[in-house]
Structure 1
Amino acid sequence: MLFDFESDFAGSLRCIPMIVRMKLDLCGIKLTLRQWSRFTHEDRVALTDLACSTPSERETYRTRVLALIEARSEEPVRFLPEETHDDWQRSDRMPDAVTLQAQADLIAPPTAAQWASLLPLQRFALIKLARSKHENENFVPAMKEFGLCRASTDAG
């Protein structure tokens, strides 16, 4: 699943899509854009499509990513810290970063009911976009895409 706000790079998979970033988080791997760029297009498609929900699927995914990094990249594998980063899995509590980013963008943050109704991948994307210093220009487009705020009617 690729989001519309990712459309500028989704077809070529030149950047790491949110679905892959979520799977990497589940596997505890920090993949750099440089490492991703060394993967073939087929590698990228496979990592986008490969299942990563169950413990055995996560282990298979992790093994695949580690093998690709070793085979295609000259950079070492980097792992995420041991603490869990599962804010996106909690539908009952929206992280402060999402509220703060919405306020910074002068839009209303999601309500508790809206947050609870989002798919885990949507919550993951909003949290990542809110916490990212270089990608938060996609926060408002993501909010609009997820039906959390009205699209602007301004002509530019």
Structure 2
Amino acid sequence: MAPGAEGLHARDFAFEADFASNLRCIPMAVRRKLDLAGVKLKLSHWLALPEPERQTLVEWHDDPGSITDLRRHLLARTAALADGPARPLPPASEEPWQQWGSVPEAVLAACAPLGLQLDDVDWAGLDELQRFVLVKLSQPGHEHRNLAHALAEFLTEAERL
């Protein structure tokens, strides 16, 4: 295994505090690692794991070797679970959240009705995990409930740096 505690891989956000503190939902940092590893882990899989094991996944590093190990671990670990094994997917590559250039249209479209603004300079100032969060919270069909909270948190962090 490849647990660790520093860097993007184990970061939590204030907007997740009410549901991530007890790990009843999959934190965004873990969701990013799942995308990088190419693993579709259902919430039922997540909840079937004991809390210390979920915490280990939160702390799992996100360097390429660790992500390969994570994929292998989760596919094997979930094989005997009641909902069946986690589903392998192609690992994330050249996704909008992995790009620094400009704010993806889906993010702009989700921000507009909420009266939120994000420009290319703001986008370039975000780290990959923050961009991942904004893309995921902006997906069509998503209620965008936490988008404003996440954006405010990220832009406030950027101003402090």
Relative to the length of structure 2, the TM-score reads: 0.83
State whether structure 2 residue 107 is matched by structure 1 residue 64: no
Q: CA RMSD in A?
A: 1.8
State whether structure 2 residue 150 is matched by structure 1 residue 139: no
Q: What's the CA shift string for 1:75-99, capped at 9, x where partnerless?
A: 2322335773621111112211100
Q: Specify the SS of the correspondent of 1:146.
A: helix
Q: Which runs of 5+ in 2 are unaligned?
A: 1-10, 157-161
Q: What's the CA shift string for 1:47-86, capped at 9, x where partnerless?
A: 11011222x2111111121122124443232233577362
Q: Which runs of 5+ in 1 are unaligned?
A: 149-156
* Equivalent of 1:77 in 71, 86, 109: 86
Corresponding pairs, count: 146
Q: What's the CA shift string for 1:96-154, capped at 9, x where partnerless?
A: 1100000121222x111100000100000000000163452000000110126xxxxxx
Match of 2:58 in 1: 48
Cα separation, partners in 2 of 1:30 and 1:132, compared to 1, 3 Å: farther
Match of 1:37 in 2: 47
Match of 1:107 in 2: 116
* Equivalent of 1:23 in 33, 36, 41: 33
* Equivalent of 2:99 in 90, 99, 103: 90
Equivalent residues of 2:96, 2:104 under 8 A apart: yes
Q: Structure 2 counterpart of 1:120, which letter?
A: E
Relative to the length of structure 1, the TM-score reads: 0.85
